[in-house]
Structure formats: structure tokens, C-alpha cells
Chain A
Amino acid sequence: MASWKEKLAGATPPDQARDIAIFETQIALRRQDKIEEKLFAETRLRRGVYGQRYDNGERHDGVATRPIAYPSGELTKGPMTLWDAPGMQRIKLPFGKVTARQLEVLAECAEEYSDAILHVTTRQDIQLHFVHIDDTPDMMRRLAATGITTKEACGNAVRNITACEYAGVCNDESFDVAPYAHAATYFLMGHDDTQDFGRKFKIAFSGCADHPCGLTSFHDIGCIARVREEGGVKRRGFEVYVGGGLGSVPHAAKLLDAFVPEVELLPTLQAVSRLFGRLGERENRARARLKFVIKKLGIEEFTRLVKLEREKLRNDPRWTAYLSDLGVVAEAPNRPPAPLEGRGAPAFERWRSTNVRPQAQPGYAVATVTLPLGDLSSDQARALADLAREFAGDAMRTTVEQNLTFRWVSEADLPQLFEKLEAIGLAEPGASTITDVTSCPGTDTCKLGISSSRGLAGELRRHLRVLEDTMAPAAKALHIKASGCFNACGQHHAADLGFLGVSRNVNGRRVPHFQVVVGGQWSHNAGAYGLAIGAIPSKNVPEMVKRLSDRFVAERRGEETFTAFVERIGKKEIRAMVEKLAVVPAYEADRSYYSDWGDPREYSIGDMGVGECAGEVVPYVQMALAAAEREVFEAQVLLEQGDVEAAAGRAYRAMLTAARALAREREPNIGDDADEIVRTFQREVVDTKLFLDPFAGAKFAHYLTKAHREGGGADSAEGAHQRIEEAQLFVDASHQCHERMVKAAQPSELARAAE
């Protein structure tokens, strides 16, 4: 078998196969310098193909910054991002669900294209690191064949839609939110109204308001399940919040609507998306998230605009079609329910006390697999797939605390499951306790990392596991989260104890530090955000954790939470504790302070690069015109292969793509039907004289109408050749037209935004 493309030809869903083939073509075009690097960067980001530390070709070795001799030389895959530099592949797992077979294929991909490690992120994705871009199309094919997509996993797009890992089996939920998260994922993915964002867009679902699993408070859109009784009938809906977010300026989401009926969920998400695409900031990337739009307009005005936008939407049968099959993502247990009789061995009971939770369905339990730093090996992944088949409903869920859960475990099977987890080193207790430290990748692999959040998290785990047995329950229950920089991917604002990587200059030398963040709340969907009290050297963080947790236990009043304790004693008190640990010994006295955790190099911030979290702002119309160009190229290839009919058809398709992109600038509701595209293009772009070329007049527009009239095909190679030439001219003219549209729109932009 020559390639995965051939082997999986029948197994990959056609739309995904086409999408991956397009990406492969874009890779080829970029190699020939036929796509501009910025455009290509956003293209790959929207497939989850992300940059990684050192991809600018430089690395600080502790003494000096030196070049890395990547063989591809100057060829780039984005601004200051070299082609051969390994990158990160983010893989979406909507609401965290992963089947046994999917986990096996993820393990294969990790082994063959990465470093045999699967990393679970704080947004329920899987990330593979050190992946070469040339390997990504095949990897995507293998994932697609099992129903996994990487589409829009990064870039200015709707990211992985998250939900509580207990959805469907939770004792406290209003109803199972997973099918809604699933529907929202596939409705918004690739949707026209989500292609024109200035930044990323994150959505989360929660089954209840009290627990933290959904973390709806810090998402662009947070949906909490609600049931309302009207006329004796119980109706499902969502309490919808908007404009939440962490990062350097955390915002709590604001209430958009206390009850959006389920039939209105998708149109509401669409309306908010469309508004964000239109009103979101473009120039200043630091203020381009939805939270800033809402801050500027106020929630009342934003709510009014959402309602107006909702009214303008063209009806879409997908809004409600999924409601007739809400069981689409449900799992069935493999074994009958049975209670667990008696007590097991001490190790089992210890694990059970923190990692097992009864389900709403009697006789079943959810078992959490604690993953150190969110990592597992390919061997472990295969073993977990076996356990999912044996004990659970053939699937698992990733969690925002970077763990995995087995659901539908018959309680009587728990000792056996524990034993098998022990055999693969994954029976560690302490899920969601002080030892289960969450961390972003930090300086390990992230271009923006300032301090080693993973190094710190690893050290804290080691340190706290030693102390765990002597810790008071109140201290054990604390949550610790670390981020390598202010972008807060480690969600440090929402922890009892958060740590945020910073750098300090001490006597002319850089020293890795962490800001100590206290007062955050993990419960109530991350109901409160902590504040930075002061920075201490990285090497003093374990001692800081010990002192703070000891003091909390010693001075706690009754059932006081850590957040309440911090509020009572005051941040000034905690600041004083921080200051005692802020002192850095002289370099000559203790050099360990001048290196970061797990990295013997002398610390430097010289490896920081330009992050790709923000993606590249490439408007929808520009992406679509690039797609049209690619289609012209594909038409040429098809003609070379002797497929005349397909070549002419692809050239015609290229013109339709470009025409639709231009027409959509004036008519956002435009559909995909060729008749409608040609008609709308004529009315909005040609009749308004926007498309008229200063020299050729309407000539290029006629190429489209002629091709459309003739049904797009050609009866000879000459005919196809001519159509390709016309398509190329049409796409070129479309670029010119777009420039004229931009110039014409500039004075009225603010007025339009205000509408």
C-alpha cells in the first residue's frame, strides 16, 4: 500500500477527505511560495497545526542564543516559523469524548509522528508535540477515519467545545449537555459565520451552575443546562453567558439570557458568532476577544444586538434537526450494574476516595485516571482502550483538569479496574486534589512561555505527594494551577493557589519567578478569579504552597473555604508571606535559583517567540479567494491528468467560490446554491459596478455567467483550458474588486458596526 490516502480512501468521511486534500495542496503551494506565509499560517492553524518553541531557528543554550540548522533553510510555514521546525498538533475532542478505537489511533499517531506521548489539555483536547508539518495530512487522515477532526483546533475559530466529563451520568445536572455540545460543534465548524473572527472563540457547556466541570464563567459563550416548567410541561433550555475569558485581563461572563429554549440554542450561538465576526477588534490583538466587545457596548446593548441579529438569520433546518436524536453520543455500559460489597485493600480505598464518584445510574460509577501533567504514553493509551472496552462504555472523557474518566463502570468491577490501572502505572489517587496540579505546556514547548509551569507542576506533585499523608483534608482539597505566562492556559485565575510565570532581573541576571495568585474559585463554574499578590522565585514556590496550606489548616474557621480564608485574613497578610520568600540568593551562593525547574540551562527569556494563540487575522473573503486560487491550481492538475470534465468543473467552482466570497461581504445570508451565488453576485457586486475593471469593464464577470449557463463543464481539453484561464482572470479580478470594496467601506465601517 503506497499511502494512507489510498488505504483510507473509503474510510475517511468525504468532506474531511476533501478538506485534508486541500490542506495537502496548500502545503505544496506554500513549498513553491505560491501562498503568502501569513495566509498559510492561518490556514494551518485552522487545522490545528501549531508552532512550537525554537521554530524560529534559534535556541538559547544557557550561554548564548545559537542557530538551529533546520535543513529546509529559509522556507517558512508562517512569519518567523521555519518549515522543518517541529510543531504541535492539537486534536479536538468535542466535550472530551474519545472512544477506545480513537484512543488507539491517537496512540499510533503519537508513536509514528510525535514522541509517543499524548497530552491532555485544559480544554479537553489532545496535543501531540514535535510533529513535522509534512506528516500532518496523513495523521489527519488516520484520525478522520475514526471520526476525529483537527479542524479549527487553533486559529481564529471556534475552538474545541467543552463540557463536564460527568454529562449524562451526573447526579446534579439538569440534563445531559453532551448532545448539545456535539450539535454546536458540528454546526459551527466551518460555518460561514465563524470564519471571520479576529481572535479565537471558546464555548463551554455545563449541566449545572454549582460545580466547576464546565467552567462556563471564563468562556466566550457559556451554556448552563436549565429546565423550565411552562403550562405543566418541562422544557429544556440554557442559561447563556457571554464574554468570559482569562488571559492577562480576566473577565467573568455576563448573563445574555436566563433561558434560551433548546430550539433557539444554535441560532443564538450563530447570532453571537456573527456579531463577534463583525464587531470584534482586528488591529489590536490584545483586545480582540468577545469580552472586549461586550465591555465596550455593555451587556444590555450587546443583548439587544444579538436579538436583532437572530431575527436576521436565514432559517436553517440544522437548528433543530439534532433534537430528534439526542442519544447520538450516549454510551451504553458493557456490564450490568452491581454494588461494591465491603472494603478493599488500603491502596484501593485511597484511590476510590478521590478518584471514584457514583453515577446517577445506580450501580455504576465514574472512575478518574489521574494523568501526571496530563501526559500518557502510547503504550498506556492502548491499555486504557482495552480497559474502556472491558469495563466502561467503550469510551472515555478527557477532563479540564487534564485527566481521563471511565464512565459506566459497574461498581463491583472497581477493584479489578484499579488493579489493571496499577499495572500500567495509572492508579495514582488524588484526582482533583492538591497533588493533581494543572499546568499549561509553558517553556517546555510553548513559544510564549516565560517560566517552566510544567517543571513547577512536576516538582509540586513530587513535593506534595510526600506530604500528602500528613495533610489535613482541607489542605488536600485545594486546587493548584500553573501557567507559564499571562495568557493563562493553565487557568491559574480559577484555582485556590495559582501561579503565573514571570521573569525578574536580579543583579543583572534573569531569574525565573512565579506570581502567586490567590482568591480564585474553582467551584461554581470558576465563580471568582484570583489576584496576583507578588512574585517569588520559582524555586521557592513549593515552600510557599506549604506555608500557605499549613496556615489555612491552622487558622481555618469551621468549614471555611480557602477563598473565604484569603478574604478574611486579607491579601496584605499573604503579601507579607510572599515577601519573605521573594529574596533571591546571590548567584555565587546558590546557582540553582538561576535555572528553572527541570532545565539545567542558565535561565533566559531569549527563547520566547511570537505566539500563535492569536493566529493571523485573515478575513474570510481573503481565505475564500485563496481557496478559489487553489481550485484553479487543482483544475490545472486535473487537466494535466487528462480529466477534462473535472478540470472545467473545478475551474467553474473556483469562480463560484470567489463570487460567493465577494457577494457575502454585502449579503451575509448567501447560501451555497450556484444559482443563488450567481444571482446575488450579479445584484450585489456586478450591478453595483464594484466588479467593473477599469479597463476590461464587465468582461471578467461574464466568464462566470457563461460558465454557469453552460453548466460548468467542457467538451474538450481546449474548452477546459480556456475555462481555467478565465477562472484565473476571474479570481484575479475578484482580488481587485475586494480591494475596491475595502476602500469604499472604510469611511462607513464604524457606522456599520454601530448598526
Chain B
Amino acid sequence: MKSHKISLKLYAKPDTLPVAAQFVAVFHDWIKEGVLGETLIDVVDYGHVHHGPAVLLIGHESDLALDLSEGRPGLSYQRKRVAKDDPATRLGDSLRRLLGAAARLESDPRLAGLGFEVDELLLRVLDRLHAPNELATYESERRGIEEALRGVFGASAALSREGLDPRAPFTVRARTGARGGARAVLERALAS
């Protein structure tokens, strides 16, 4: 992937989402406990913004968000600046980080019942210079995206371009065909 500014979203399973304030507490604890192995800075509550990033965990390398965009709650991982960044592996690495965070949330007792769908994924590249939202970008990135998804989910994913508005970020929806929870996918990916 040409750009490192990757944003990935996993959708929450219907009716499993606890109130946003619970995420505020969990994310604060993640900073305190240094659980993600990267520099974490702050938690921001944007719960008042309609279909916005309701709760953000701000980091130096990346941000995580309880993401209510599209009217579909989910967990977003956004890669911002990573010291050791290899274009060939950055998407796979981002996927593993997203799944790791999702698995951690699924197992937090304060968020009891929370689950994420692993058969669907939204990929956005927040970099209009290197990844304008156009067909040419899709054609040049498609193979790399498919390979990275196969590397993590273990099977071919069906891709489709989303949101053809040229002002919007380059966006691809993937149907991974995966089953189970985030932890299961992650463990399988790490084992392979």
C-alpha cells in the first residue's frame, strides 16, 4: 500500500454495543496500563457528534475509535505515523493491530456482550495525495489489499469500492468470509 495513512473498521455485532461512556473508562485504563505497546496520549469523547468518532483513544502512531460513522457502530484503527513502516506489510500489520484491540475489547468485562463481525471490513486511506478516491487507485491497490487480507483472514476476500464521491477518502469494503470472534481470527493469523 502506497500510503501509510490506513483506516480500518470492524463493525460491532447488532445489539452488543454498551454505552459509549464505558469505552471512555476502558481506553483510559489502556493508557494507564500501556496495553497496546505504543505511545498512547489521551481519550476524547465526541459522543455528541452525530455518526462521529464517538470515543477516541489518541496515540502517537495510531488512533482507535468507537466509530459511529455510517450509522453503524464499530471499532476503527487509524494508522498515523509508525517508525518502522514497510509498505509491503503496513496493511497486514494494521489489520493485526485492529483485531488485537477488538479482541481486547471483546474480553473486557465492562463491555460484556460486545462482539465484532469479522466477515466485513471497511478500509479507507486518509491520504488524498497518494490515494485519491478514483478507479485508478483501486486498480493499483487491489492486489495488495487482497494479499494482505488473505494473509490475515486466511481466505480470499471480495472487495468493492465504496463512496464514489471524489471528495471522500479512498474506500474499499471487504467481505472476508471469516467466522468467529476477533481473537480467533488474530490467533489464526499469528499462527500462520
Selecting from A110-118, A206-214, A387-395, the interface stretch reads A110-118
Is B24 located at the chain interface by the 8 A CB criterion?
Answer: yes
Q: Judging by beta carbons under 8 Å apart, are B48 and A61 in contact?
A: no
Is A68 located at the chain interface by the 8 A CB criterion?
Answer: yes
Tally chain A residues at the interface, Cβ within 8 Å: 49
Please pick, from B32, B39, B81, B127, the residue contacting A61 in the complex, using a CB distance under 8 A. B32
A372 to chain B, nearest CB (A): 4
What residues of chain A lie closer than 8 Å to B167, measured between beta carbons?
104, 107-108, 382
A112 to chain B, nearest CB (A): 5
Q: Judging by beta carbons under 8 Å apart, are A54 and B32 in contact?
A: no
CA distance A63 to B168 in the complex (A): 42
Q: Judging by beta carbons under 8 Å apart, are B31 and A108 in contact?
A: no
Q: Judging by beta carbons under 8 Å apart, are A376 and B49 in contact?
A: yes
Contact status of A598 and B63, CB under 8 A, knowing A115-B53, A425-B51: no
A499 to chain B, nearest CB (A): 18
CA distance A68 to B129 in the complex (A): 31
Q: Judging by beta carbons under 8 Å apart, are B28 and A1 in contact?
A: no
What residues of chain A lie closer than 8 Å to B56, measured between beta carbons?
115
Q: Judging by beta carbons under 8 Å apart, are A112 and B5 in contact?
A: yes
Which residues of chain B from 139 to 192 have any CB-CB distance to chain A below 8 Å in the complex? 165, 167-169
What residues of chain B lie closer than 8 Å to A461, measured between beta carbons?
48
Is A3 located at the chain interface by the 8 A CB criterion?
Answer: yes
**Chain B, Cβ-Cβ closest to A134:** B81
29 contacts between A and B (CB under 8 A): A3-B129, A61-B32, A68-B39, A70-B39, A70-B60, A84-B60, A107-B167, A108-B128, A108-B167, A112-B127, A115-B46, A115-B58, A115-B63, A116-B53, A117-B49, A117-B52, A130-B58, A372-B49, A375-B49, A377-B52, A377-B53, A380-B51, A382-B167, A382-B168, A424-B51, A425-B49, A425-B51, A598-B45, A599-B28
**Chain A, Cβ-Cβ closest to B81:** A132
What residues of chain B lie closer than 8 Å to A424, measured between beta carbons?
50-51
What residues of chain B lie closer than 8 Å to A232, measured between beta carbons?
none
What residues of chain A lie closer than 8 Å to B86, measured between beta carbons?
none
Please pick, from B41, B53, B83, B130, the residue contacting A86 in the complex, using a CB distance under 8 A. B41
Is A71 located at the chain interface by the 8 A CB criterion?
Answer: yes
Is A62 located at the chain interface by the 8 A CB criterion?
Answer: yes
Is A4 located at the chain interface by the 8 A CB criterion?
Answer: yes
Of B69, B127, B165, B167, most A-chain CB atoms within 10 Å: B167
What residues of chain B lie closer than 8 Å to A377, measured between beta carbons?
46, 49-53, 69
**Chain B, Cβ-Cβ closest to A461:** B48
Binary interface profile of A, 251-265, with partner B (CB < 8 Å = 1, else 0)?
000000000000000
Q: Judging by beta carbons under 8 Å apart, are A1 and B129 in contact?
A: yes
Q: Judging by beta carbons under 8 Å apart, are A69 and B39 in contact?
A: yes
What residues of chain A lie closer than 8 Å to B51, measured between beta carbons?
377, 379-380, 424-425
Binary interface profile of A, 425-458, with partner B (CB < 8 Å = 1, else 0)?
1100000000000000000110000000001001
Q: Judging by beta carbons under 8 Å apart, are B129 and A71 in contact?
A: no
What residues of chain A lie closer than 8 Å to B108, measured between beta carbons?
none
Beyond A69-B39, A115-B56, A598-B24, 18 additional contacts (C-beta under 8 Å) are: A59-B41, A61-B31, A62-B28, A68-B40, A71-B60, A107-B167, A108-B128, A115-B63, A116-B53, A117-B49, A130-B41, A132-B81, A372-B48, A377-B50, A377-B69, A424-B50, A426-B50, A458-B48
CA distance A107 to B69 in the complex (A): 15
Contact status of A111 and B169, CB under 8 A, knowing A426-B50, A444-B44, A600-B28: yes
CA distance A461 to B47 in the complex (A): 12
Is B126 located at the chain interface by the 8 A CB criterion?
Answer: yes
Q: Judging by beta carbons under 8 Å apart, are A71 and B46 in contact?
A: no
CA distance A115 to B63 in the complex (A): 9
Is B88 located at the chain interface by the 8 A CB criterion?
Answer: no
B108 to chain A, nearest CB (A): 14
Q: Judging by beta carbons under 8 Å apart, are A600 and B32 in contact?
A: no
CA distance A598 to B19 in the complex (A): 13
**Chain A, Cβ-Cβ closest to B5:** A112
Binary interface profile of A, 1-16, with partner B (CB < 8 Å = 1, else 0)?
1011001000000000
**Chain B, Cβ-Cβ closest to A375:** B49
The dominant DSSP class at the B interface is loop
Is B135 located at the chain interface by the 8 A CB criterion?
Answer: no
Binary interface profile of A, 409-431, with partner B (CB < 8 Å = 1, else 0)?
00000000000000011100000
Q: Judging by beta carbons under 8 Å apart, are A71 and B49 in contact?
A: no
Please pick, from B31, B52, B53, B169, the residue contacting A59 in the complex, using a CB distance under 8 A. B31
Is A123 located at the chain interface by the 8 A CB criterion?
Answer: no
Is A568 located at the chain interface by the 8 A CB criterion?
Answer: no
B18 to chain A, nearest CB (A): 14
Is A679 located at the chain interface by the 8 A CB criterion?
Answer: no
Q: Judging by beta carbons under 8 Å apart, are B44 and A115 in contact?
A: yes
What residues of chain A lie closer than 8 Å to B112, measured between beta carbons?
none
3 interchain residue pairs of minimum CB distance = A425-B50, A372-B48, A61-B32
What residues of chain A lie closer than 8 Å to B127, measured between beta carbons?
112
**Chain A, Cβ-Cβ closest to B70:** A379
**Chain B, Cβ-Cβ closest to A598:** B45
Is A601 located at the chain interface by the 8 A CB criterion?
Answer: yes
**Chain B, Cβ-Cβ closest to A52:** B42
Please pick, from A53, A61, A108, A117, the residue contacting B53 in the complex, using a CB distance under 8 A. A117
CA distance A61 to B33 in the complex (A): 10
**Chain A, Cβ-Cβ closest to B52:** A377
What residues of chain B lie closer than 8 Å to A599, measured between beta carbons?
24, 28
What residues of chain B lie closer than 8 Å to A85, measured between beta carbons?
41
Is B35 located at the chain interface by the 8 A CB criterion?
Answer: no
CA distance A95 to B39 in the complex (A): 39
Which residues of chain A from 217 to 233 have any CB-CB distance to chain B below 8 Å in the complex? none
Contact status of A86 and B58, CB under 8 A, knowing A68-B41, A112-B5, A379-B69: yes
A330 to chain B, nearest CB (A): 26
Which residues of chain A from 551 to 604 have any CB-CB distance to chain B below 8 Å in the complex? 598-601
What residues of chain B lie closer than 8 Å to A68, measured between beta carbons?
39-41
B10 to chain A, nearest CB (A): 18
CA distance A15 to B24 in the complex (A): 44
Q: Judging by beta carbons under 8 Å apart, are A54 and B41 in contact?
A: yes
What residues of chain A lie closer than 8 Å to B130, measured between beta carbons?
1
What residues of chain A lie closer than 8 Å to B5, measured between beta carbons?
112
Binary interface profile of B, 106-148, with partner A (CB < 8 Å = 1, else 0)?
0000000000000000000011111000000000000000000
